[in-house]
Amino acid sequence: MIEYVTTLFINAAIFALFSLGLNLQWGFAGLVNFGHVAFMTIGAYTTVLLSLNGVPWFFAFLIAAAIAGLLGIVVGSTALKLREDYLGIVTIGVSEMVRLFVNNEEWLTKGTKGVQDFPLPLVNLVSRQYYSFVLAALLLFVVAIVYWRLEWLVRSPWGRVLKAIREDEEVVKALGKNVFWYKLQAFAIGGAIGGLAGSFYAWQLTTIYPDNFISLITFQAWTIITIGGAGNNLGVLLGAAVFQFYNAIPRFLPEQLRADGGRFEAIQLILIGVTLILLMVWRPQGLLGNKKELTLNR
């Protein structure tokens, strides 16, 4: 039971970390990113491929975040000049391009065969049976650091400019701020955080395939942000916990229903859908969101 709860915690924390990056882009800067999973893909593959080539896990972890952030700069340098709806379309395209790249370039990523048997961080500290506890502790530490620094950023003058851009970027331009530069920074930092989540996602799975990084993962992050409240980092953590709760339900269902995976997956989607509908009716800003910050009309 303890190992099961630990696994649930790891999954929730990975998606919380992943969603914190998207929340910086959307919740604070108003950037529509429907391809956030691209950063997770880059982070996961970079980490495991570098580790397989002898790079220590810690440096592979940081390099993966840097390359994911670099992808954010490359994509954002052109896409951020587009209107919100076109930006969303471009980011979906980028995520599919990244997925197809890792699917087809077998010389580098092993394609559909997947990447297995890569080194895991701190794996020698305990026996493999208890490794999930080590990974959970490491993940908790990283999430805490990222959350702390994000809170510092969004409460700083830089963060206040981001919020102003989200509300009305024309006013910010009139005040002499370089709106594009602020957007690009938010997009790159959010991408780097997504890369960190990708590293942990790979370590949790222990084997990665291109199909692990489908667009649905991005929309799960959007669901988490919607539940917790856009523009609220603590709300994102709560949203990830609520979202993971639905994944824990099978443990408490009758054996006959648990055996029917297809039916249960449908029930999960129904429950998530009902939750979102109720939130949209009674609390559209999310559980911890600020209703005043929903004014995104420009």
The string of pLDDT tens digits covering residues 134-156 is 999 999 999 999 999 999 999 99
Per-residue confidence at 296, pLDDT binned at 50, 70, 90? Answer: very low
Give the range with max mean pLDDT: 34-43, 77-86, 163-172.
34-43
* pLDDT given for residue 298 in this prediction: 45
Q: Is 259 exposed, middle or buried (0-12, 13-18, 19+ CB in 10 A)?
A: exposed
Average the pLDDT over each of 16-25, 198-207, 245-254 and give the range with the smallest value: 245-254
Q: How far apart are CA 208 and CA 44, in angstroms?
A: 8
- Residue 167 in domain: yes
* pLDDT given for residue 255 in this prediction: 61
* pLDDT given for residue 297 in this prediction: 45
Q: How far apart are CA 47 and CA 59, in angstroms?
A: 9
Supply 247's token pair. Answer: 């994944």
- Residue 262 in domain: no
Residue 1 has pLDDT above 90, yes or no: no
- Residue 297 in domain: no
- Residue 241 in domain: no
Residue 194 CB neighbours (<10 A): 34
- 168-225 confidence digits (pLDDT tens): 889 999 989 999 999 999 999 999 999 999 999 999 999 999 999 999 999 999 999 9
Average the pLDDT over each of 34-38, 112-116, 144-148, 274-278 and give the range with the smallest value: 274-278
Which residues span the domain enclosing 141? 2-213
- Residue 276 in domain: no
- 253-291 confidence digits (pLDDT tens): 666 555 555 566 677 777 788 888 888 888 888 888 776
Residue 42 has pLDDT above 90, yes or no: yes
Q: How far apart are CA 62 and CA 70, in angstroms?
A: 12
Name the percent of the chain lying above pLDDT 90. 71
* pLDDT given for residue 85 in this prediction: 83
- Residues 6 or more apart whose CB falls under 8 angstroms from that of 62 comprise none
Q: Is 64 left (phi over 0), alpha (psi -120 to 50) or beta?
A: alpha
Question: What is residue 213's DSSP assignment?
Answer: G
Q: How far apart are CA 259 and CA 8, in angstroms?
A: 20
* pLDDT given for residue 124 in this prediction: 86
- Residues 6 or more apart whose CB falls under 8 angstroms from that of 101 comprise 109
- Residue 271 in domain: no
Q: What is the sign of the dihedral through the CA atoms of 260, 220, 152 and 142?
A: positive
Name the percent of the chain lying above pLDDT 70. 92
Q: Is 109 left (phi over 0), alpha (psi -120 to 50) or beta?
A: alpha
* pLDDT given for residue 238 in this prediction: 95
Question: 137-146: which pairs have CB atoms within 8 A and are 24 or more residues apart?
Answer: 139/10, 139/13, 139/14, 139/17, 139/200, 140/13, 142/17, 142/196, 142/200, 143/13, 143/16, 143/17, 143/20, 143/237, 146/17, 146/20, 146/193, 146/196
Residue 161 has pLDDT above 80, yes or no: yes
Q: How far apart are CA 194 and CA 23, in angstroms?
A: 11
On average, the pLDDT of the chain sits at 90
- Residue 182 in domain: yes
* pLDDT given for residue 279 in this prediction: 84
- Residue 279 in domain: no
The residue type of 55 is V
Q: Is 295 exposed, middle or buried (0-12, 13-18, 19+ CB in 10 A)?
A: exposed
* pLDDT given for residue 248 in this prediction: 77
Q: What is the mean pLDDT of residues 91-109?
A: 94
Query: Looking at the 3D structure of the chain, how many domains does it have?
Result: 1
Supply 227's token pair. Answer: 């539940």
Q: Is 20 in a helix, a strand, or coil?
A: helix
Supply 246's token pair. Answer: 């639905």
